[in-house]
A and B are shown apart, each in its own frame.
Chain A
């Protein structure tokens, strides 16, 4: 018991590690927020584009989505960071991670929004067209608002799953939370910083998970 406390909940070590780790946490949060902004934004745009009745728009989007749903996040990040430079395209570790995760989130977000759009009753489209609205206006002002609302539960889950991937940044030397926890851990030869890291991750994600549970619970009872 004492051993567990010494190795995993060593308060002096945690206290010393905290400032550096908070720094890492800041970077983790920054990566997560950038990823969400880029990924959800791109996903929404793709879903809107997909509603246009042209296969030249639809097929590339479907391919994009399938590719980024099929590839592991870490494989994408490693490709961007280690392979793209051979083509003369270089991204910093930070942007390699954020870009990789954003592509994945864009694919998943597109799916969530698209599911919401296809769930819109035909009558809505017809009513809008009958009142002379253009396709773009119909999508933006009639179809999208309820579609976004429907997609929120699944989107929330995807956002959590993808932003947890910021920890993968440590594999390409982003100095985020996990990287700091690991390096301090090896310096002090005590895994308490890992515990602290895990707790800090939970501090970010546990409220989001609780929020998604609440959303699902509310959805179940509102039917």
Chain B
């Protein structure tokens, strides 16, 4: 009875092609958003570290604005709001834009914190041997900073990956959305349960790793 309702194998077989498409779209979203978020976040953190107080204030404004906005609000604004200006992005591009803005602000803050925690002597050593500020940060400060914040970076990657499921709200047929469509086809929650299980199986190892790394830093 329970299995029939919550894990009806026929429901999966019947909706499998749809779910696979959804899964692949989620993978594609993650594959675009995570690298773009890390790249933009790192660039912003570099700009913070190299810039004057005005730049630093701009950085904090950017980061704190996008940290204060729920990603779904941002997505709805971009998807439903921007077309009024003639900017019609479509659901995939809207999703990418919203989550890159959101994700980059967290990545930027993490990398920034990593950079400012590197002792000043490292800058001194680089500058004293004739490196430019840019060379010093790229070759000396950033590699150490990133190594120290691998845990939080992975943690944010996990959060960003999970956040792609909000794109179902703007009818982007990603994994969760296809599960909802499938459910309405088979009148049975099995597709939802199946999708949840796939998320769990794929993200559990990452969650384990993240909490281990965070623990490592806490007891460091």
Contact = CB atoms under 8 A, between A and B. Distances in A.
B84 interface: yes
A71 B166 contact: no
Nearest to A207: B68
Most buried by B among A65, A118, A198: A198
B76 A7 contact: no
Contact of B200 (A71, A73, A201, A202): A71
Interface in B20-70: 60, 64-65, 67-70
Contacts of B214: 111, 115
Interface stretch (A13-21, A124-132, A165-173): A165-173
B200 A78 contact: no
Contacts of B211: 65-66, 69, 111
Contact of A72 (B60, B73, B162, B193): B162
A73 B81 contact: no
A72 B165 CA distance: 7
B69 A205 contact: yes
Nearest to A85: B189
B162 A71 contact: yes
Nearest to B161: A72
A78 B68 CA distance: 24
A68 to B, nearest CB: 9
Interface bin, chain B? 35 or more
A138 interface: no
Contacts of B163: 72
Nearest to A205: B68
A157 B207 CA distance: 17
Given A79-B193, A82-B180, A201 B70 contact: yes
Interface in B101-150: 113
Interface string A128-145: 000000000000000000
Given A201-B69, A201-B73, A209-B67, A71 B85 contact: no
B113 A86 contact: no
A45 B45 CA distance: 38
Contacts of B76: 178, 181-182, 194
B73 A8 contact: no
A84 B196 CA distance: 13
Given A7-B85, A75-B176, A191-B84, A178 B219 contact: no
Nearest to B26: A72
Given A182-B76, A194-B76, A202-B65, A70 B176 contact: no
Contacts of A76: 196
Interface residues of A, number: 54
A187 interface: no
B211 to A, nearest CB: 6
A152 B150 CA distance: 21
Given A119-B218, A168-B72, A210-B64, A73 B77 contact: no
A119 B215 CA distance: 9
A167 B70 contact: yes
Give the 4 A-B residue pairs with the shortest CB-CB distance, closest first. Answer: A83-B189, A191-B81, A72-B162, A205-B68
Interface of B: 2, 5-6, 60, 64-65, 67-74, 76-77, 80-82, 84-85, 113, 158-159, 162-166, 168-169, 176, 180, 183, 188-189, 192-193, 195-196, 199-200, 203-204, 206-208, 210-211, 214-215, 218-219
